[in-house]
Amino acid sequence: MANTRSFPQLHQTTRIRRRRFALWRVLLHLVLSIGALLMVLPFFWMISTSLKAEGDVLRVPPQWLPNPIVWSNYAESWTALPMGQAYVNSLKVASISTIGTILSSSLAGFAFAKLHFYGRGWLLLVLLATLMVPVQATLIPTYILFRWFGWLDTHWPLIVPAVLTNAYGVFLFRQFFRTIPDDLADAARVDGAGPLRIYAQIFLPLAIPAVAALGILDFMYYWNEYLLPLIFLSSVDRFTLPLMLASFQNGYTTQWSLLMAASAIALVPVMLVYLLAQRYFVEGIALTGLKG
């Protein structure tokens, strides 16, 4: 009888817990929605400003919806400066740097994860220690070195260091490759495969999530890089997009409508890269390895 009488109480307790859980879910979604709105707000303001007349940009109170809509800002921003050449330059630098970084980092990560050689741990420690050195600390000696190479005002100073000195990419691939069982490599060695073949035909195809994660992060970084192009480039026909966007500002005025329109156009490749690889992005960051 005691157990029979407890059923209504148990049912009531369960309903209370469900209501509390539903309330917490509503509150959580409300907080997340507010956070998402705050994240989208600057993007919305950029699009709104890009469609305004120049005299409406700094109007007080702010005008959130442009009236009238000036679509010609996009065409004018493309022709006011050599944006087409800057687009090509940025695509060149970002694409080559990203592909080269993925290849070099995956090779080094495979070596640190699956090959045994003397001083492996110390070498990895030294490599990771470079992450603590800011770019500004090595800027002057790097500039002198590239001047000695004759690479100033070329894209080589933007590509070569990116390909050869990405310690974060090496660490990311090392951690990912360590999650892959050694039995796969041992079986390939029995069949006569060497280290490069094991890397190219077994480990690299399994590392697509890590490739996508590093590719997205690096492409976004190299696409938006401003400091190094500012230091090493001096010819307008070699400018990347961040430098060209900065050219809409001068010491006296800023063409805000054209600047926002050009910035919106500059976002397109980054958004496309993310949309194409987003299904692998979280998996690559989490370093899940093989799935059963």
State how far the Cα of 221 lies from the Cα of 30, in Å rounded to an integer: 31
195-242 pLDDT, tens digit per residue, is: 888 898 888 888 888 888 888 889 989 999 999 999 999 999 999 999
Question: Can you tell me the mean pLDDT for 242-246?
Answer: 90
Residue of 186, 235, 260, 208 lying closest to 86 (CA atoms)? 235
Question: Can you tell me the mean pLDDT for 237-262?
Answer: 85
1 pLDDT above the threshold of 60 = no
Helix residue ranges, H only, the chain = 2-50, 72-80, 83-114, 120-129, 139-149, 156-164, 167-178, 182-190, 195-198, 204-206, 208-224, 227-232, 241-246, 256-286
pLDDT value at residue 257 = 86
The residue with tokens 């700094």 is 58
Output the CA–CA distances (angstroms, integers) from residue 156 to 61, 78, 150, 162, in the order listed: 47, 26, 10, 10
Single pTM value for the model: 0.81
pLDDT value at residue 89 = 95
Any idea how long the chain is?
292
- For 240, counting Cβ atoms within 10 Å of its Cβ (0-12 exposed, 13-18 middle, 19+ buried), the class is buried
162-172 pLDDT, tens digit per residue, is: 998 889 899 98
Higher pLDDT, 147 or 275: 147
Superfamily of the domain at 79-286: MetI-like (1.10.3720.10)
pLDDT value at residue 6 = 60
Instruction: Tell me what the pLDDT averaged over the chain comes to.
Output: 85
State how far the Cα of 177 lies from the Cα of 184, in Å rounded to an integer: 11
Question: Do 239 and 233 form a contact (C-beta atoms < 8 A)?
Answer: yes
Count of CB atoms situated within 10 Å of the CB of 71: 11
The DSSP 8-state label assigned to residue 153 in this structure reads T
